[in-house]
Structure 1
Amino acid sequence: MAARPEPTLRALLTRRELSLRLAGSEAELAPGALDAPLRWVHGSDLADPTPFLTDDLLLLTTGTQFDDAGGPEPYRDYVARLARRGVRGLGFGTEVVRHGIPAALAEACAAERMPLFEVPYRTPFIALAQANAEAVAAQAYARRSWALAAQRAISLAALQPDGLGATLAELGRQLGAWVGLFDAAGALVRDHPAGGLAAEALTGVTGEVGAMLRRGVRAGSSLESAGQRFTLQTLGRGGQLRGAIAIAATGLDAEGRGVLTSVIAMAGLALEQTVGLNQAREALRGGLVRSLLSDDPSVAAPVVGELWTPLPAAPIVVAVASLPATRAQVASDWLEGQSGSVFHGQGPDGLVIVVGVADQPLLDEFAALFEAGVGVSRPSDYQDFSGAHAQAVAARARGGAGRVTRFTELAGDGVLAQLSGTDATAIAEAQLAPLREHDRRHGTALLHTVRVWLECDARIETAAQALGVHRHTVRTRVAQAQQLLGVDLAGFPARAELWAALVATR
């Protein structure tokens, strides 16, 4: 089928049967003036027709409004009003009222860089309106036909083995634009054409996609990155987003938006259908973690190697992470997408991540990306997996969200350094309360004296020198502290208990 002319002034000027002639040269016009879309052609001889005009309009006139023009000023004012209204061009019907186009009108149009053309006497204005209306109708029909063909091509692509990837590729071909699919963690997993986007532009798009996914609500967005315009749309339901689609195009017409909407719906459905499969896989991973906690990898190792990648080679570190349930699947998808050997699964105390010693930086990246609290064990073998898991749980308890705490850091501080937990601190405060209360009421220093005395290995003379008081004063204060606490500090167990309380409340 021959291509139908576009509804533009250039298309009308090329219609031989209309015999239109452009006044002046195209170089004198505003860029793209002849190729701007025309929605309507209207005729009027009003001195100021602008209140009655629509957008993207071509105006025709015979010039009767200039009968009383005494100079160029009325022409300049007339054309300036049309330019401000956004009129696409002005057609002058010659030999009806005037012979030829008035020079003052040509000068006024040239000053505004507005297209001016002659409509000969034998060409009725209605012929221009009809020609443009036919072009508008033909364009609309062509776009509808394109949309139907595109929908059919995309539907056929969805039936291929990699239906989602083929669908996105077909969308890119139909729109003539780059298309990218991002997973729930905000990472680009598919694009068409592959690698067809500059690194700078991709960085901007990835950042915007990540921000949209972190908000957790279904949304669309537009973005300009590295001089390109992009349309973005999340996939999935609010609170359970599965990813996003990005297209290097904006300003799509109704047909283009319809095709895009259908692809978004198909992609969202395809991703939703994977939820059940993901749940089954996570349950299997959890069972394999419990198997590893028996310190016997003989069952888990072949299963992991068959379904995913082999278990990381020993020595390994075991990490236990805590993160919101709404981020669990996203975190699992991200871990599964990491290169190298890594295994993860839900354990009794949180998400368990197993990596080789050399791959520990992955844990820091995970904690920062998902704002997860992560505890990491010492290097270990699979035969002591449960011990390494216990170390990771203890390390996580001492850390916080968005950070990694390693058990080696805790072990270096000693056993008593771990007494600063909430429960231990509360018990210690209750135990030392009689001394604190006595010191507050009587202005004494029993608590400080007991601390220094214990630091001096319970030696009265040494403690007296450290405190700068007489030895009898130290002995009296210690005896008073024993009475208030109701303990006998002559034995090591009582002294150790008191020292532990002092450490917990330091």
Structure 2
Amino acid sequence: MLETVGDVAQRFRLRVPTGSTGLDRPIRWTHISELADPTPWLRGGEMLLTLGLQLDQSDTSEQLTAYAGRLAEAGVAALGFGVGVRHPSVPEALVAGAEAHGMAVLEIPGGVAFQDITYQLNGDLLRTGAAESRLIAEGVSSMTRVARSAGPQGIVATLAARIDSWAVLMDRHGKTHAAVGAARVHLDDARAAALGQRSRIRHPGLTVYGVGDPVRPRAHLVVAPRPDRISLTRELAQHAALLLDLALNPLSGGDTWGLARADAVDALMSGDPALIQRVSARWNLLAGNIAVALLRSRSRAVPLEENVLEWCEELDVPPLVSSESSLVTVLLPEDELGRWTARVCDAVEREGVPARCGVGTAQPPSGSLLSRRQAEQALEVAVADARPVVEFAGLPTQRLILQHLDPAARTALTSPLLPLLESDSTRILLRSLRVFLSENNNWEAASSQLGIHRHTLRQRMGRVEELTGLSVTVTEDRVIAWLALQALHVDDTN
């Protein structure tokens, strides 16, 4: 443990003109300087020793207060002021300035050499540092051992014991995963700290460590470090966060797991009975039918696949998930469809995840391709109607009617778009029109989905109107264009 300012005052029998102010601060090193501004050479936590040679008797209280303020801002733990050489006592203005910044001043008489203080304290600090390194190594070893048997709760419990304080593990929404030594008020403060609500925190000095992705962590580890164990707490908490990342989702790291999941999804939709049988057995899917769910994010900034994997973990379903471009494919057991749709709706409506989901009907594993086609159609409706989840089984008969129309009738429906098809060999205008209508004529959302500027989208829609004679601002024309797009889609998939 590091010695505090009060310990040093008692050890060398020094007078403390600032009273009890700052006596509980730990001292991490000692430094001697007679510069008017020694802060560029300080790292924080030092006890600065000076004879005040840079301070003139004529200095105003503002100058002395400013000197104390510079030291406090640099994180100086205490100021040791030698008297009897330049100053008979510590200047009162300096004492007042230090008190105002919560920093202690120790008066060092002429009989106490600075070298004696630095030699003894720095030697003890070196020995303390070596001891702290051993404590860190032992703590990391203990947390690693317990992680194998007790998981996140064991890691948090071991961390709390090692830092002699409380620790809380919360998910990204503020729900408690594990808490050790924390009272209700501590949990409230930990939640506020994890969610960035600093104004609501009553316990000072809380530190938050992200678990997982540093940009979008899957959980938050909140600890309350003791003043004399700040560096020990920091080191152990950082190691704990790494272990918790593995404990919470041991298969999430690395491309190998992602490739394995994608390969399993592809195999189950391959149409090869023997391959489907083997993969179904490995993933424990032989007991019943499976349904395909397709999800699309309305924002490129949202890692939708990570959300989907978290939902699978929460629902305890096999993480048969693959991602290609902005589309995420999930294979779900038939008896989990209700919980799945409820979870996605909750994520979209309450948690703000900008996703749309289409779900096909449950089929034997050999029929998963049919379920996927149904999920594609349901997803289109979900995007067009701005609904979190659409199940193919609940679709209106519009899609089925289009699928069963004869080619001549479908040609009649698609005829308004023929000029567009003839002039748009790259299908850029056609895709832009589909996305624009799917986003309910929202210029911002559609341009974001296409990855273009909204002015570029307006130019494309102007070209569409010029070629087809339809107006995207007229409801009847939009319906004609939408039906034509649906009929074209049916032709493409047949």
TM-score between both structures, scaled by the size of structure 1: 0.53
Q: For the pair shown, which has the larger CA radius of gyration, 1 or 2?
A: 1
Question: What is the aligned-residue identity percentage?
Answer: 13
Any conservation in 2 of the 1:41–1:58 contact (CA below 8 Å)? yes
For 1:356-371, list aligned pairs within 5 A: 359=339, 360-365=341-346, 371=354
Q: Once the 2 structures are TM-superposed, how far is the Cα of residue 152 of structure 1 from its aligned partner?
A: 2.8
Which residue number in structure 2 is paired with residue 320 of structure 1? 293
Which residue number in structure 1 is paired with residue 7 of structure 2? 11
In 2: Cα distance, 1:351 partner to 1:180 partner: 29
Any conservation in 1 of the 2:211–2:242 contact (CA below 8 Å)? no
For 1:399-410, list aligned pairs within 5 A: 399-400=382-383, 403-407=388-392, 410=395
* 3-state secondary structure, aligned to 1:396: helix
Note the aligned Cα RMSD (angstroms): 5.8
Which residue number in structure 2 is paired with residue 218 of structure 1? none
Over 3 Å counting, the alpha-carbon distance change for 1:116 and 1:336 in structure 2 is: closer
Over 3 Å counting, the alpha-carbon distance change for 1:187 and 1:320 in structure 2 is: farther
For 1:76-475, list aligned pairs within 5 A: 76=61, 79-86=64-71, 88-94=78-84, 101=89, 105-106=91-92, 109-110=95-96, 113=99, 115=104, 117-158=106-147, 160-162=148-150, 165-175=153-163, 176-180=165-169, 182=171, 190-193=177-180, 224=198, 226-227=200-201, 229-235=206-212, 243-248=218-223, 256-267=233-244, 271=249, 273=251, 320-323=293-296, 327-328=304-305, 330-338=307-315, 350-353=329-332, 354-355=334-335, 359=339, 360-365=341-346, 371-376=354-359, 394-400=377-383, 403-407=388-392, 410-411=395-396, 416=401, 428-430=413-415
In 2: Cα distance, 1:194 partner to 1:283 partner: 44
Any conservation in 2 of the 1:181–1:244 contact (CA below 8 Å)? yes
Which of 2, 9, 26 is the aligned partner of 2:19?
26
Q: CA deviation digits over 1:174-214, x for unaligned, max 9?
A: 333424275xx979684242986766556556667xxxxxx
Over 3 Å counting, the alpha-carbon distance change for 1:61 and 1:425 in structure 2 is: farther
In 1: Cα distance, 2:269 partner to 2:112 partner: 84
* 3-state secondary structure, aligned to 2:68: helix
* 3-state secondary structure, aligned to 1:322: strand
Q: Once the 2 structures are TM-superposed, how far is the Cα of residue 75 of structure 1 from its aligned partner?
A: 6.5
In 1: Cα distance, 2:388 partner to 2:263 partner: 27
* 3-state secondary structure, aligned to 1:334: helix
2:209 corresponds to which letter in structure 1?
L
Q: Once the 2 structures are TM-superposed, how far is the Cα of residue 86 of structure 1 from its aligned partner?
A: 1.5
2:342 corresponds to which letter in structure 1?
P
Over 3 Å counting, the alpha-carbon distance change for 1:337 and 1:141 in structure 2 is: same
Any conservation in 2 of the 1:320–1:352 contact (CA below 8 Å)? yes
Over 3 Å counting, the alpha-carbon distance change for 1:123 and 1:269 in structure 2 is: same
In 2: Cα distance, 1:106 partner to 1:19 partner: 21
In 1: Cα distance, 2:234 partner to 2:120 partner: 28
In 1: Cα distance, 2:293 partner to 2:243 partner: 36
In 2: Cα distance, 1:425 partner to 1:268 partner: 53
Over 3 Å counting, the alpha-carbon distance change for 1:205 and 1:13 in structure 2 is: closer
In 2: Cα distance, 1:170 partner to 1:377 partner: 46
1:26 corresponds to which letter in structure 2?
G
In 2: Cα distance, 1:262 partner to 1:432 partner: 60
Q: CA deviation digits over 1:274-322, x for unaligned, max 9?
A: 676787788778888999xx9xxxx99x989x969x979xxxx967323
* 3-state secondary structure, aligned to 2:27: coil
2:111 corresponds to which letter in structure 1?
R
- Unaligned 5+ segments in structure 1 are 209-222, 435-499
In 2: Cα distance, 1:355 partner to 1:381 partner: 12
Please say if 1:40 is aligned against 2:30. yes
More displaced 10-residue stretch of structure 1: 136-145 or 424-433: 424-433
Over 3 Å counting, the alpha-carbon distance change for 1:207 and 1:428 in structure 2 is: farther
* 3-state secondary structure, aligned to 1:136: helix
Q: CA deviation digits over 1:114-163, x for unaligned, max 9?
A: 755544443334333334333433442332232222233223324x4345
TM-score between both structures, scaled by the size of structure 2: 0.54
Any conservation in 1 of the 2:296–2:355 contact (CA below 8 Å)? yes
Which residue number in structure 1 is paired with residue 423 of structure 2? none
Q: CA deviation digits over 1:340-375, x for unaligned, max 9?
A: xx788579x943443579755334235666644333
In 2: Cα distance, 1:234 partner to 1:89 partner: 39
